[in-house]
Amino acid sequence: MAPRSAYRPFAVTLAGRQTLSENFVRLTFAGPDLAEFADTCLDQRIKLVLGTDQQLDSAAAAPSWMDWWRDQPDDERPVMRTYTARFVRREQAEVDVDFVTHGTSGPASRFALEAQVGDRALLVGAHADHPEADTQGLAWRRSGASTVLLAGDETAQPAIANILRSLPAHVTGAAFVEVPASADAMELETAAEVAVTYLPRSPGAGAGEEHARGERLTAAVRDWTAAWTAEAGRDAVATETSGAVEFDENVSTTEAGILWEEGAEGGGLRVWVAADATTVRGLRQVLLKEQGLERKSCSFMGYWRPGAREGE
């Protein structure tokens, strides 16, 4: 019988670092077990665990790595953060993970900037041979939709890049990525007719004031959705949520109280939104209540909240 969870810890070492832009670094992890690491990518969530060699060995050997992690004293618990695998090369037993860097005050950003080749870590991801390796830990489901709307901040850029790479040529739509600076815009590969727009919060030296987090993303999503619904005609947009959904705190949330709501069906338009918790909650309001999109075709993921640590 297959294990209930597709996820397991993989012992890795840092094999390389590449600076992608002002605020992005790509780390390459290597380890023999990565030959069995699922290469689903998309927005499939993986965990990075940082700790002492003894802690990493204990976590890897435990019957349940998560139970082991939760049982550790608060002041000794290893660092754990959630990421997206950008590229998986099973034949080379390597996995690339893109990091948003923000100085060395945080342990994960510090690791991304300062860790040395050969330093150890654990990647917790899906085992390729598990029957649910391609379904667990994912929110992205195109479900046959011919048009997509992808929206996220810098933490969502790797997932958006993976989703775009997976789309067939006939799919249309838009992808909006809010990033700290214009230099963080990257060329994203896709065969689809999906327009990619980067929205830097900082206009650059002498070019005006910095935009508030989520401001440009929310405006761009609102404008695009309004134009799409006008072109499609209101009859083409389901209205079961318009004016009917209660926009209170009683929506799906994580243990940390962050909005997390995964739609399962595509319809004509498939919407995927991931960013900081406040921006995602505002975008949910815009798309469902204001624009009247179909709730079941939308996924809203609060990837992070300022000051919150993994597991809180």
CATH number of the domain enclosing 291: 3.40.50.80
| Amino acid in position 92 | Q
**Higher-confidence position of 267 and 174:** 174
**Higher-confidence position of 226 and 267:** 226
Of 76-85, 216-225, 245-254, 265-274, which gets the smallest average pLDDT? 245-254
What pLDDT, on the 0 to 100 scale, is given for residue 92? 98
The answer to the question of residue 291 being in a domain is yes
User: Could you say which of 126, 161, 180 is where a domain stops?
Assistant: 126
156 and 80 fall within a common domain? no
When pLDDT is averaged across residues 235-255 and rounded to a whole number, the result is 49
* pLDDT tops 90 at residue 261: yes
The answer to the question of residue 2 being in a domain is no
What separation, in Å, do the N-terminal and C-terminal C-alpha atoms of the chain show?
A: 33
What pLDDT, on the 0 to 100 scale, is given for residue 312? 41
Whole-angstrom Cα distance, residue 211 to residue 215?
Answer: 6
The answer to the question of residue 138 being in a domain is no
3-class secondary-structure state, position 272? strand
Report which of 197, 14, 22, 183 is spatially closest to residue 96, judged by C-alpha positions. 14
* pLDDT tops 60 at residue 198: yes
24 and 156 fall within a common domain? no
What pLDDT, on the 0 to 100 scale, is given for residue 306? 75
**Higher-confidence position of 5 and 306:** 5
300 and 159 fall within a common domain? yes
**Higher-confidence position of 143 and 48:** 48
Q: Where in the sequence is the domain holding 21, given as residue range(s)?
A: 7-126
The answer to the question of residue 172 being in a domain is yes
The answer to the question of residue 309 being in a domain is no
Of 11-20, 125-134, 250-259, which gets the smallest average pLDDT? 250-259
The answer to the question of residue 181 being in a domain is yes
Question: Which residues are 80's β-sheet partners?
Answer: 49
Burial 100-126 (b: 16+ CB within 10 A, else e): bbeeeeeebbbbbbebeeeebbbbbbb
**Residue 23: CATH number of its domain:** 2.40.30.10
* pLDDT tops 90 at residue 52: yes
When pLDDT is averaged across residues 213-238 and rounded to a whole number, the result is 86
The answer to the question of residue 134 being in a domain is no
Per-residue pLDDT of 179-195, as tens digits, reads 999 999 999 999 999 99
Q: Which two tokens stand for residue 54?
A: 């003894």
- State if pTM tops 0.85: yes
257 and 214 fall within a common domain? yes
What pLDDT, on the 0 to 100 scale, is given for residue 247? 45
Per-residue pLDDT of 290-299, as tens digits, reads 999 999 999 9
SS (H, E, C) 61-98: HCCCHHHHHHHCCCCCCCEEEEEEEEEEECCCCEEEEE
151 and 120 fall within a common domain? no
H helix runs in the chain, sequence order: 53-61, 65-71, 107-114, 157-166, 215-232, 277-284
Question: Which residues are 300's β-sheet partners?
Answer: 261, 273
What pLDDT, on the 0 to 100 scale, is given for residue 193? 98
Whole-angstrom Cα distance, residue 137 to residue 249?
Answer: 24
Query: Is residue 283 left, alpha or beta, with left meaning phi > 0 and alpha meaning psi from -120 to 50?
Result: alpha
Whole-angstrom Cα distance, residue 126 to residue 121?
Answer: 16
Per-residue pLDDT of 64-77, as tens digits, reads 999 999 999 999 99
184 and 86 fall within a common domain? no
Of 112-116, 175-179, 257-261, 279-283, which gets the smallest average pLDDT? 257-261
When pLDDT is averaged across residues 19-32 and rounded to a whole number, the result is 96
176 and 36 fall within a common domain? no
The answer to the question of residue 133 being in a domain is no
For the chain, what is the mean pLDDT? 90
pLDDT band at 244 (very low <50, low <70, confident <90, very high): very low
When pLDDT is averaged across residues 51-70 and rounded to a whole number, the result is 95
Domain count, the chain: 2
121 and 216 fall within a common domain? no
112 and 160 fall within a common domain? no
171 and 293 fall within a common domain? yes
User: Could you say which of 76, 96, 126 is where a domain stops?
Assistant: 126
3-class secondary-structure state, position 238? coil
14 and 60 fall within a common domain? yes
Residue for token pair 């204001």: 290
